[in-house]
Amino acid sequence: MKELLLIVCIFSMTTGFTQTETKPIISYTSKAAVTSLKLSIDGSNDLKTINWNDIKEIFKDNNDDQLIQLELEIDLPKSKNKIQGSFKMQGERKNIDRLLLRAKKGIKGLLKVINNNKN
C-alpha cells in the first residue's frame, strides 16, 4: 500500500508541476520598407538604361502615404566642363507614377546637357 501511495504522489507531482507551453505576452512582426533610392551615373548610356518598372517594384511594399525619395547623382569627369550634380524628387508612394515622370523629365534635361558638353 505504501508503494502505491508513493507512486501516486510521484505521478501527481510530475504531472502537476510539468512545464506547459504558454503564449508570449507580447508578439510583434517586423516589416522593412525602402524609403530612398540613389542612382549614381557616370555616362549618358547609364541614363538610357534605367528600368523604371524595377524602381517602381522596389517601393511596392511601402505604405501608400509613406514618403519616398529618388535621387539621381551625375559625375562626368571626361566631359568638356566636368559636369557634376544631383537632383532629388520626393513624394508619397501612392504618387510614384508622378514621381517617376518627374525623374524622366529631369533625365531628358540631363541628356541635353551631357550632349552639349561632349568632347
Q: Where along the chain do its domains lie?
A: 36-116
Choose between 11 and 66: higher pLDDT.
66
User: How far apart, in whole angstroms, are the C-alpha atoms of residue 66 and residue 32?
Assistant: 12
| Per-residue pLDDT band at 40 (split at 50, 70, 90) | confident
pLDDT at 21 over 70: no
Q: What is the mean pLDDT of the chain?
A: 80
Give per-residue pLDDT as tens, 47-105. 788 888 998 898 888 888 999 999 888 887 777 777 788 888 899 999 999 999 988 88
Using a cut of 0.75, tell me whether the model's pTM lies above it: no
Percent of the chain with pLDDT over 70: 84
